[in-house]
A and B are shown apart, each in its own frame.
Chain A
Amino acid sequence: MPLFSELKEAAEKSRDKKAAIGPDLDLNQFKRQSEDWSYDEGYKSFDAQERDHLLRAGIELTDEDHAGTFLQADRSIVHCKTSQPGLEIMPITEALQKYDGLPEYYWRLVNVEADKYTAAAELSLDNGYFIRALPGARISQPVEACLYIRTDGLSQHVHNIVVAEPGSQLHIITGCTTHPGVTSGLHLGISEFYIKKGAHLTFTMVHNWAENIHVRPRSAILVEEDGVYLSNYIVLKPVKSVQMYPTARLAGKGAVARMNSVVVAHPGSELDLGGRVILEAPHTKAEVIARTVTTGGTVISRGHLIGKVPQIKAHLECRGLILAPKGLMYAVPELTGEVAGVEMSHEAAVGRIAQEEIEYLMARGLTEDEAASTIVRGFLNVEIEGLPEALKEDIERTIQETEKGL
């Protein structure tokens, strides 16, 4: 584990380093000052408009029906609570102090020198969450975590660490969103996930940003023997740019990773998304599935499976629908098998809705529009346990709006 001074030094060197992929951003164009928002035990500082906006990112602003809650507005932690034994939630800054810098976890999976965004998160960290399910803890209700930009033009820097200790079970729903009045800004999010032996983590991330927000998550996941990592990523609303390419390492025998993403790129949005899984141990399994729709924006859908040992199984699927004359979709599926005995496949399809599918449903009595809607709805179908009803309704509304572009 490098010392803090070494981390800072490494980050300093990468201060201006462009990311390998994605549009480059000048970090100086964003503010680093914001109001210090005070702690809000009863969520009383949120008006009706803000509450509605947060709900669209899956954030209910209640401690009820949640095993724990975490809410960071700009740079301030405004709510953080644990309601179930076996679950630990605290701001990352507090965890770094409490656990002597989290030497086992902090910057152990994501490289601080990767680019200017990782560097900025280290050199100028706001906060982030540390969530840990203790050994054997079965956390039945979801944990709700929210990273919220409340100040226009702000660059928010967070570092999150999630640890599912051996035999534990945990479901986190993270909503990332902005205040209704915020139109521009940047969110830099470092996330490191540790799924230990026999643990099970479901991580659902809902992005509900604004039209001029840029987002640069940098995530990595380590899954040990018989551990399971399931991630769901949903972005259905306009955003200026998102570039992320999380990497999961399946390091223990029988480990599993499944990454699903459901994406709508609106006009003006540039989304460069993907998932990479490195299968390092026998009997590991991975599935990366991206379903993307463009109504005029750009989607680059990446996926890379790397099989390093025999007896692994992995599948990659990038499917895209172009529902507007000018949408761009670029699917980049990659498979790397480094030994004999790996079983890996990919499937990529980009285009409009097949006439054959529409007519099949018309033969069952649906009009052409109804048939197309049914197909888009199925394509974007999001069935994730624990999503608030209001979010499901909002997803439904978004799908209906997307269908109007047909």
Chain B
Amino acid sequence: MFQIEDLYVTIEDQEVLRGINLHIKKGETHALFGKNGSGKTTLLMTIMGFSRYQVRQGRILFLGTDITHLPTYERAQLGVGIAFQRPPTIRGVKTKDVFRVCAGGKMSVEALAFEYGFENFMDREINHGFSGGEIKKSELLQLLAQDPKLVLLDEPESGVDLENLQLIGQIIRRLLQKDQRRVDRTKAGLIITHTGYILNYLNADMGHVMAHGQVACQGHPMDILEHVKKSGYEECVRCLCFQN
């Protein structure tokens, strides 16, 4: 469903991603680990096609289409959706207006907001004065409205209290059709997580550890998490050295 082949990316001429390969099948959820600055967010932003991230080599394939050089909105229209870690505040633009853009007339965003207790935020300017948890909720509800096939989540649990973590987990489960059998699922997900808390709700299929712009290690996400907690990310870098 989604494939990255030998991807090299620069930001302002600085090489940030160096030869990334990734393959996510329909119905799968992959987790992305790594230290700050290892390239995780860059990878997600590149998949989404933001202008700051220049692809120097390699390609990104989604549902058989090469999307490497497509504009962001075309990727979104094809079915790639992202929940940002730190989305911008856009003064004057109301949350409900952005939700409506996401829904494209396919659903009632008011009903969606009501379902998740978000109705009081709909008339507020998008992300303005939102707490960390409210931002995450807003981002994920936008994705529910958008209904993407490939769900990219950048630290969906950061800034969320334990009580709301469960709700965030539920929304992600819904986004990724986790209550369906894997063969029946039509979606896939790639999730950046630092703490791994969110994985308690998701049952992710595969984990990747990034270091220095490369995928340093791959394996079962819970195993990786346990390993990182115990030995730190340096172990994974050694793993990369071993592979090379």
Q: Which of B80-88, B200-208, B233-241 contacts A (4 or more CB under 8 A)?
A: B80-88
**5 A–B contacts from the bound complex (CB under 8 Å):** A355-B51, A361-B93, A365-B102, A371-B73, A378-B91
Assembly CA distance A221 to B147 (angstroms): 52
- Contact for B90 among A362, A363, A365, A375, CB less than 8 A: A375
Whether, in the assembled complex, A291 has its beta carbon less than 8 Å from a beta carbon of chain B, the answer is yes
Contact A360 B71 (CB under 8 A): no
Whether, in the assembled complex, B101 has its beta carbon less than 8 Å from a beta carbon of chain A, the answer is yes
Whether, in the assembled complex, B15 has its beta carbon less than 8 Å from a beta carbon of chain A, the answer is no
Contact A364 B88 (CB under 8 A): no
When A375-B92, A378-B92, A380-B92 are in contact, do A362 and B97 touch as well, CB less than 8 Å? no
Assembly CA distance A379 to B52 (angstroms): 25
Q: Nearest-CB distance from B189 to chain A (Å)?
A: 16
Q: Nearest-CB distance from A87 to chain B (Å)?
A: 32
Whether, in the assembled complex, A319 has its beta carbon less than 8 Å from a beta carbon of chain B, the answer is yes
Contact B91 A361 (CB under 8 A): no
Contact A363 B82 (CB under 8 A): yes
Q: Nearest-CB distance from B76 to chain A (Å)?
A: 4
Kindly list chain B residues whose C-beta atoms are within 8 Å of the C-beta of A319: 91
Contact A365 B146 (CB under 8 A): yes
Enumerate the 9 nearest inter-chain pairs by beta-carbon distance, A residue then B residue, closest first: A378-B92, A378-B93, A362-B72, A365-B76, A379-B92, A362-B73, A356-B88, A364-B101, A357-B90
Q: Nearest-CB distance from B19 to chain A (Å)?
A: 25
Contact A362 B102 (CB under 8 A): no
When A361-B101, A378-B92 are in contact, do A367 and B73 touch as well, CB less than 8 Å? yes
Within 8 A of A (CB), among B20-79: 48, 50-52, 71-73, 76-77
Kindly list chain B residues whose C-beta atoms are within 8 Å of the C-beta of A364: 76, 98, 101-102, 142, 146
Contact A357 B48 (CB under 8 A): no
Q: Nearest-CB distance from B25 to chain A (Å)?
A: 23
Assembly CA distance A375 to B87 (angstroms): 15
Q: A360-B84, A377-B93, A378-B93 are in contact. List 20 more A-B contacts (CB 8 A).
A: A357-B88, A359-B51, A361-B93, A362-B73, A363-B72, A363-B81, A363-B84, A364-B101, A364-B102, A365-B76, A365-B77, A365-B102, A366-B73, A367-B73, A371-B73, A374-B93, A375-B92, A378-B92, A378-B97, A378-B125
Give the one of B87, B88, B90, B142 with max A CB within 10 A.
B90
Interface string of A338-367 (1 = CB under 8 A from B): 000000000000000011110111111111
Whether, in the assembled complex, A368 has its beta carbon less than 8 Å from a beta carbon of chain B, the answer is yes
Q: Nearest-CB distance from B69 to chain A (Å)?
A: 15
Whether, in the assembled complex, B232 has its beta carbon less than 8 Å from a beta carbon of chain A, the answer is no
Kindly list chain A residues whose C-beta atoms are within 8 Å of the C-beta of B91: 319, 378-379
Whether, in the assembled complex, A381 has its beta carbon less than 8 Å from a beta carbon of chain B, the answer is yes
Q: Nearest-CB distance from B9 to chain A (Å)?
A: 16
Contact A378 B51 (CB under 8 A): no
Whether, in the assembled complex, B94 has its beta carbon less than 8 Å from a beta carbon of chain A, the answer is yes
Q: Nearest-CB distance from B154 to chain A (Å)?
A: 11
Assembly CA distance A381 to B126 (angstroms): 14
Q: Nearest-CB distance from A356 to chain B (Å)?
A: 5
Considering the complex, give the chain B residue whose CB is closest to the CB of A379: B92
Assembly CA distance A319 to B94 (angstroms): 17
Contact B88 A354 (CB under 8 A): yes
Q: Nearest-CB distance from B111 to chain A (Å)?
A: 19
Whether, in the assembled complex, B219 has its beta carbon less than 8 Å from a beta carbon of chain A, the answer is no
Kindly list chain B residues whose C-beta atoms are within 8 Å of the C-beta of A360: 84, 87-88, 90
Assembly CA distance A380 to B91 (angstroms): 10
Kindly list chain A residues whose C-beta atoms are within 8 Å of the C-beta of B77: 365
Assembly CA distance A361 to B82 (angstroms): 11
Assembly CA distance A363 to B71 (angstroms): 9
Interface string of A275-301 (1 = CB under 8 A from B): 000000000000000010000000000
Contact A375 B76 (CB under 8 A): no
Assembly CA distance A378 to B142 (angstroms): 18
When A355-B51, A375-B92 are in contact, do A361 and B98 touch as well, CB less than 8 Å? yes
